[in-house]
Amino acid sequence: MIEIQNLKKVFEGVTAIEDISLKISKGEVFVLLGPNGAGKTTTIRILTCIIKPTGGIAYIDGMSIFDESKRIRKISGLLTENPGFYERFNAVDNLRFFSKLYGMDENIIDEDIKEYLEIFHLWERRYEPVGNFSKGMKQKLALVRALIHDPEYIYLDEPTASLDPETSKIVRDFIRELKSRGKTVILSTHNLAEAEYLADHIGVLNTRIVAMGTPEDLKSRIFGKRVVIEFQGDADKAKAIMEELRVVYQLERGKVIILNPGIKNSVIVGKMVENGLDVDYVYEERHSLEEIYLRLVSNHG
Protein backbone atom coordinates (compact mmCIF):
# COMPACT_ATOMS: atom_id res chain seq x y z
CA MET A 1 0.00 0.00 0.00
CA ILE A 2 1.04 3.58 -0.64
CA GLU A 3 -0.01 6.10 1.99
CA ILE A 4 0.53 9.81 1.40
CA GLN A 5 -0.02 12.37 4.15
CA ASN A 6 -0.16 16.14 3.52
CA LEU A 7 2.53 16.05 0.85
CA LYS A 8 3.92 19.41 -0.29
CA LYS A 9 6.72 20.47 -2.63
CA VAL A 10 7.94 24.01 -3.28
CA PHE A 11 10.53 24.83 -5.96
CA GLU A 12 12.15 28.27 -5.56
CA GLY A 13 9.01 29.79 -4.12
CA VAL A 14 6.63 28.06 -6.54
CA THR A 15 4.29 25.45 -5.06
CA ALA A 16 4.21 22.33 -7.24
CA ILE A 17 1.96 20.24 -4.98
CA GLU A 18 0.20 21.05 -1.73
CA ASP A 19 -1.60 19.07 0.95
CA ILE A 20 -1.88 15.83 -1.01
CA SER A 21 -3.25 12.95 1.07
CA LEU A 22 -4.37 9.64 -0.40
CA LYS A 23 -4.07 5.87 -0.15
CA ILE A 24 -3.35 3.53 -3.04
CA SER A 25 -4.15 -0.13 -2.45
CA LYS A 26 -1.75 -2.85 -3.45
CA GLY A 27 -2.56 -4.46 -6.79
CA GLU A 28 -4.56 -1.57 -8.26
CA VAL A 29 -4.04 0.78 -11.18
CA PHE A 30 -4.16 4.37 -9.92
CA VAL A 31 -4.26 7.15 -12.50
CA LEU A 32 -3.14 10.73 -11.87
CA LEU A 33 -4.96 13.16 -14.16
CA GLY A 34 -4.23 16.84 -14.46
CA PRO A 35 -3.02 19.60 -16.79
CA ASN A 36 0.65 20.36 -17.39
CA GLY A 37 2.16 21.80 -14.23
CA ALA A 38 -0.45 20.17 -12.00
CA GLY A 39 2.18 18.23 -10.02
CA LYS A 40 1.82 14.72 -11.46
CA THR A 41 5.51 14.21 -12.22
CA THR A 42 6.55 15.85 -8.95
CA THR A 43 4.34 13.43 -7.01
CA ILE A 44 5.83 10.43 -8.81
CA ARG A 45 9.39 11.69 -8.26
CA ILE A 46 8.73 12.00 -4.53
CA LEU A 47 7.21 8.51 -4.28
CA THR A 48 10.23 7.01 -6.05
CA CYS A 49 12.63 8.87 -3.72
CA ILE A 50 14.23 10.98 -6.46
CA ILE A 51 13.35 14.22 -4.66
CA LYS A 52 12.26 14.97 -1.12
CA PRO A 53 9.06 16.82 -0.26
CA THR A 54 9.05 20.21 1.42
CA GLY A 55 6.41 18.96 3.82
CA GLY A 56 4.39 15.86 4.59
CA ILE A 57 5.42 12.23 4.25
CA ALA A 58 4.69 9.09 2.24
CA TYR A 59 4.98 5.40 3.08
CA ILE A 60 5.48 2.57 0.59
CA ASP A 61 4.64 -0.81 2.15
CA GLY A 62 5.07 0.91 5.50
CA MET A 63 8.54 2.25 4.61
CA SER A 64 9.18 5.96 4.98
CA ILE A 65 10.46 7.83 1.92
CA PHE A 66 12.85 9.63 4.29
CA ASP A 67 14.30 6.68 6.19
CA GLU A 68 14.16 3.75 3.74
CA SER A 69 14.67 5.26 0.30
CA LYS A 70 17.11 2.53 -0.83
CA ARG A 71 14.66 -0.27 -0.06
CA ILE A 72 11.84 1.66 -1.73
CA ARG A 73 13.88 2.13 -4.91
CA LYS A 74 14.51 -1.63 -5.11
CA ILE A 75 10.79 -2.39 -5.23
CA SER A 76 9.98 0.50 -7.59
CA GLY A 77 10.12 0.72 -11.37
CA LEU A 78 9.97 4.13 -13.04
CA LEU A 79 9.24 5.26 -16.59
CA THR A 80 10.07 8.94 -17.05
CA GLU A 81 9.51 11.34 -19.92
CA ASN A 82 13.26 11.42 -20.70
CA PRO A 83 14.63 7.86 -21.06
CA GLY A 84 18.30 8.68 -20.35
CA PHE A 85 20.03 5.75 -22.08
CA TYR A 86 23.66 5.38 -23.12
CA GLU A 87 23.06 6.02 -26.80
CA ARG A 88 26.26 4.39 -28.10
CA PHE A 89 25.35 1.14 -26.32
CA ASN A 90 22.85 -1.28 -27.83
CA ALA A 91 19.54 -2.16 -26.17
CA VAL A 92 20.83 -5.34 -24.53
CA ASP A 93 23.92 -3.68 -23.05
CA ASN A 94 21.84 -0.81 -21.71
CA LEU A 95 19.42 -3.20 -20.02
CA ARG A 96 22.23 -5.35 -18.63
CA PHE A 97 23.85 -2.27 -17.14
CA PHE A 98 20.71 -1.03 -15.41
CA SER A 99 19.75 -4.56 -14.28
CA LYS A 100 23.09 -5.00 -12.52
CA LEU A 101 22.43 -1.81 -10.59
CA TYR A 102 19.52 -3.71 -9.03
CA GLY A 103 21.81 -6.65 -8.19
CA MET A 104 20.11 -9.07 -10.58
CA ASP A 105 21.67 -12.42 -11.52
CA GLU A 106 23.14 -12.39 -15.07
CA ASN A 107 21.27 -15.52 -16.21
CA ILE A 108 17.95 -14.08 -15.05
CA ILE A 109 18.81 -10.75 -16.65
CA ASP A 110 19.24 -12.24 -20.13
CA GLU A 111 16.05 -14.31 -19.85
CA ASP A 112 14.01 -11.27 -18.81
CA ILE A 113 15.58 -9.06 -21.46
CA LYS A 114 14.54 -11.50 -24.19
CA GLU A 115 10.99 -11.81 -22.82
CA TYR A 116 10.36 -8.07 -22.59
CA LEU A 117 12.06 -7.09 -25.84
CA GLU A 118 9.89 -9.63 -27.65
CA ILE A 119 6.72 -8.32 -25.99
CA PHE A 120 7.49 -4.79 -27.15
CA HIS A 121 8.78 -5.78 -30.61
CA LEU A 122 12.38 -4.72 -30.01
CA TRP A 123 14.11 -8.10 -30.09
CA GLU A 124 15.14 -7.85 -33.74
CA ARG A 125 16.79 -4.48 -33.01
CA ARG A 126 18.51 -5.54 -29.79
CA TYR A 127 22.10 -5.07 -31.01
CA GLU A 128 21.60 -1.66 -32.61
CA PRO A 129 22.90 1.45 -30.82
CA VAL A 130 20.05 3.05 -28.91
CA GLY A 131 21.00 6.36 -30.54
CA ASN A 132 19.53 4.97 -33.78
CA PHE A 133 16.16 4.29 -32.16
CA SER A 134 13.10 6.45 -32.78
CA LYS A 135 11.50 8.30 -29.87
CA GLY A 136 8.79 5.65 -29.66
CA MET A 137 11.35 2.82 -29.58
CA LYS A 138 13.24 4.54 -26.78
CA GLN A 139 9.96 4.90 -24.90
CA LYS A 140 9.35 1.16 -25.20
CA LEU A 141 12.91 0.39 -24.10
CA ALA A 142 12.46 2.68 -21.10
CA LEU A 143 9.34 0.73 -20.17
CA VAL A 144 11.33 -2.52 -20.36
CA ARG A 145 13.95 -0.98 -18.06
CA ALA A 146 11.24 -0.02 -15.56
CA LEU A 147 9.99 -3.63 -15.46
CA ILE A 148 13.21 -5.62 -15.78
CA HIS A 149 13.81 -6.12 -12.02
CA ASP A 150 10.22 -7.24 -11.38
CA PRO A 151 9.23 -4.33 -9.09
CA GLU A 152 6.14 -4.37 -6.89
CA TYR A 153 5.34 -0.72 -7.60
CA ILE A 154 5.48 0.60 -11.15
CA TYR A 155 5.31 4.33 -11.88
CA LEU A 156 4.54 5.29 -15.47
CA ASP A 157 4.73 8.94 -16.47
CA GLU A 158 2.82 9.24 -19.77
CA PRO A 159 3.56 5.60 -20.78
CA THR A 160 2.05 5.75 -24.28
CA ALA A 161 3.41 9.16 -25.28
CA SER A 162 5.22 8.95 -28.66
CA LEU A 163 3.84 5.47 -29.35
CA ASP A 164 1.83 4.46 -32.41
CA PRO A 165 -1.73 3.16 -31.83
CA GLU A 166 -0.75 -0.51 -32.15
CA THR A 167 2.08 -0.26 -29.62
CA SER A 168 -0.07 1.88 -27.31
CA LYS A 169 -2.57 -0.97 -27.19
CA ILE A 170 0.21 -3.44 -26.37
CA VAL A 171 1.32 -1.21 -23.49
CA ARG A 172 -2.23 -0.75 -22.17
CA ASP A 173 -2.90 -4.48 -22.31
CA PHE A 174 0.39 -5.16 -20.55
CA ILE A 175 -0.53 -2.73 -17.77
CA ARG A 176 -3.64 -4.82 -17.22
CA GLU A 177 -1.44 -7.91 -17.20
CA LEU A 178 0.73 -6.31 -14.51
CA LYS A 179 -2.36 -5.78 -12.39
CA SER A 180 -3.34 -9.43 -12.82
CA ARG A 181 0.12 -10.32 -11.46
CA GLY A 182 -0.61 -8.32 -8.32
CA LYS A 183 1.55 -5.34 -9.23
CA THR A 184 0.60 -1.80 -8.22
CA VAL A 185 0.67 0.67 -11.11
CA ILE A 186 0.62 4.44 -10.72
CA LEU A 187 0.43 6.28 -14.01
CA SER A 188 -0.05 9.81 -15.21
CA THR A 189 -1.65 10.41 -18.56
CA HIS A 190 -3.32 13.08 -20.67
CA ASN A 191 -5.21 10.36 -22.53
CA LEU A 192 -8.63 10.33 -20.88
CA ALA A 193 -9.86 7.25 -22.75
CA GLU A 194 -6.74 5.45 -21.56
CA ALA A 195 -7.41 6.50 -17.98
CA GLU A 196 -10.98 5.26 -18.14
CA TYR A 197 -9.86 1.95 -19.68
CA LEU A 198 -7.14 1.26 -17.10
CA ALA A 199 -8.00 2.95 -13.81
CA ASP A 200 -9.35 1.34 -10.69
CA HIS A 201 -9.17 4.78 -9.09
CA ILE A 202 -8.42 8.24 -10.46
CA GLY A 203 -6.97 11.23 -8.67
CA VAL A 204 -7.61 14.53 -10.44
CA LEU A 205 -4.65 16.72 -9.56
CA ASN A 206 -4.28 20.47 -9.90
CA THR A 207 -1.56 21.20 -7.33
CA ARG A 208 -4.01 19.62 -4.87
CA ILE A 209 -6.20 16.55 -5.26
CA VAL A 210 -9.49 18.07 -6.40
CA ALA A 211 -11.37 14.78 -6.75
CA MET A 212 -10.71 11.09 -6.30
CA GLY A 213 -12.65 7.89 -6.89
CA THR A 214 -13.46 5.21 -9.42
CA PRO A 215 -14.43 6.49 -12.88
CA GLU A 216 -18.08 5.65 -12.14
CA ASP A 217 -17.98 7.30 -8.71
CA LEU A 218 -16.62 10.50 -10.22
CA LYS A 219 -19.32 10.56 -12.89
CA SER A 220 -22.03 10.11 -10.31
CA ARG A 221 -20.61 12.71 -7.91
CA ILE A 222 -19.94 15.41 -10.48
CA PHE A 223 -23.03 15.09 -12.63
CA GLY A 224 -25.40 13.03 -10.52
CA LYS A 225 -27.46 10.12 -11.78
CA ARG A 226 -29.72 10.95 -14.73
CA VAL A 227 -32.30 8.35 -15.74
CA VAL A 228 -33.97 8.79 -19.12
CA ILE A 229 -37.35 7.18 -19.83
CA GLU A 230 -38.60 7.32 -23.40
CA PHE A 231 -42.34 6.84 -23.68
CA GLN A 232 -45.41 7.27 -25.87
CA GLY A 233 -48.59 8.83 -24.58
CA ASP A 234 -49.97 11.86 -22.80
CA ALA A 235 -47.17 14.17 -21.56
CA ASP A 236 -49.50 15.68 -18.96
CA LYS A 237 -49.97 12.23 -17.44
CA ALA A 238 -46.20 11.76 -17.28
CA LYS A 239 -45.86 15.15 -15.58
CA ALA A 240 -48.52 14.29 -13.01
CA ILE A 241 -46.76 11.00 -12.20
CA MET A 242 -43.42 12.72 -11.66
CA GLU A 243 -45.09 15.27 -9.37
CA GLU A 244 -46.76 12.47 -7.41
CA LEU A 245 -43.45 10.61 -7.00
CA ARG A 246 -41.72 13.85 -5.96
CA VAL A 247 -38.72 13.40 -8.25
CA VAL A 248 -36.64 16.13 -9.86
CA TYR A 249 -37.39 15.82 -13.55
CA GLN A 250 -37.27 17.48 -16.94
CA LEU A 251 -39.96 16.68 -19.47
CA GLU A 252 -39.06 16.73 -23.14
CA ARG A 253 -40.90 15.52 -26.21
CA GLY A 254 -41.36 11.77 -25.83
CA LYS A 255 -39.12 11.41 -22.79
CA VAL A 256 -38.64 12.36 -19.18
CA ILE A 257 -35.20 12.90 -17.60
CA ILE A 258 -35.02 12.25 -13.85
CA LEU A 259 -32.13 13.50 -11.71
CA ASN A 260 -31.03 11.27 -8.80
CA PRO A 261 -34.40 9.46 -8.63
CA GLY A 262 -34.04 8.02 -5.11
CA ILE A 263 -36.50 5.28 -6.05
CA LYS A 264 -36.15 2.26 -8.29
CA ASN A 265 -36.60 2.68 -12.02
CA SER A 266 -39.08 -0.21 -11.96
CA VAL A 267 -41.36 1.75 -9.59
CA ILE A 268 -41.40 4.78 -11.91
CA VAL A 269 -41.96 2.67 -15.02
CA GLY A 270 -44.68 0.66 -13.29
CA LYS A 271 -46.52 3.83 -12.38
CA MET A 272 -46.30 5.10 -15.95
CA VAL A 273 -47.61 1.85 -17.41
CA GLU A 274 -50.47 1.77 -14.88
CA ASN A 275 -51.51 5.18 -16.19
CA GLY A 276 -51.63 4.08 -19.82
CA LEU A 277 -48.20 5.24 -21.01
CA ASP A 278 -46.14 2.99 -23.28
CA VAL A 279 -42.51 2.89 -22.11
CA ASP A 280 -40.04 2.19 -24.92
CA TYR A 281 -36.61 2.60 -23.31
CA VAL A 282 -35.11 3.17 -19.87
CA TYR A 283 -31.43 4.01 -19.55
CA GLU A 284 -28.95 5.97 -17.47
CA GLU A 285 -27.44 8.98 -19.20
CA ARG A 286 -23.67 8.59 -19.13
CA HIS A 287 -20.99 11.27 -19.10
CA SER A 288 -17.47 10.81 -20.38
CA LEU A 289 -14.38 11.10 -18.23
CA GLU A 290 -13.40 14.04 -20.41
CA GLU A 291 -16.49 15.99 -19.31
CA ILE A 292 -15.67 15.28 -15.65
CA TYR A 293 -12.03 16.23 -16.05
CA LEU A 294 -12.79 19.51 -17.81
CA ARG A 295 -15.36 20.52 -15.22
CA LEU A 296 -13.08 19.71 -12.28
CA VAL A 297 -10.02 21.45 -13.71
CA SER A 298 -11.98 24.55 -14.71
CA ASN A 299 -13.52 24.77 -11.23
CA HIS A 300 -10.14 24.47 -9.51
CA GLY A 301 -7.90 26.33 -11.95
CATH number of 2-219: 3.40.50.300
Phi-psi region of 219 (alpha: psi -120 to 50; beta: other; left: phi over 0): alpha
Question: pTM for the complete prediction?
Answer: 0.78
Q: Which of 52, 80, 78 is nearest to 64 (CA)?
A: 52
Round to whole Å and give the CA distance between 52 and 55. 9
Q: pLDDT value at position 23?
A: 95
| Orientation angle between helical segments 289-299 and 215-223, nearest 10 degrees | 60
Query: Is there a contact between 256 and 245 (Cβ–Cβ < 8 Å)?
Result: no
Query: Is there a contact between 30 and 199 (Cβ–Cβ < 8 Å)?
Result: yes
Round to whole Å and give the CA distance between 74 and 71. 5
pLDDT digits (tens, 9 = 90+) for 18-31: 999 999 999 999 99
**Where do the structural domains in the chain lie, given as residue ranges?**
2-219, 221-289
Options 3.40.50.2300, 3.20.20.70, 3.30.710.10, 3.30.70.100; CATH for 221-289 is 3.30.70.100
154: Cβ contacts below 8 Å, ≥ 6 apart: 76, 77, 78, 79, 146, 147, 178, 183, 184, 185, 186
Q: Tens digit of pLDDT per residue, the chain (301 long)?
A: 999 999 999 999 999 999 999 999 999 999 998 877 889 999 999 999 999 999 999 999 999 999 999 999 999 999 987 778 999 999 999 999 998 888 888 777 888 999 999 999 999 999 999 999 998 899 899 999 999 999 999 999 988 877 888 888 888 999 999 999 999 999 998 777 788 889 999 998 889 998 899 888 887 776 667 889 999 999 989 999 998 898 878 888 899 988 777 788 999 999 999 999 999 999 987 777 777 777 776 665 5
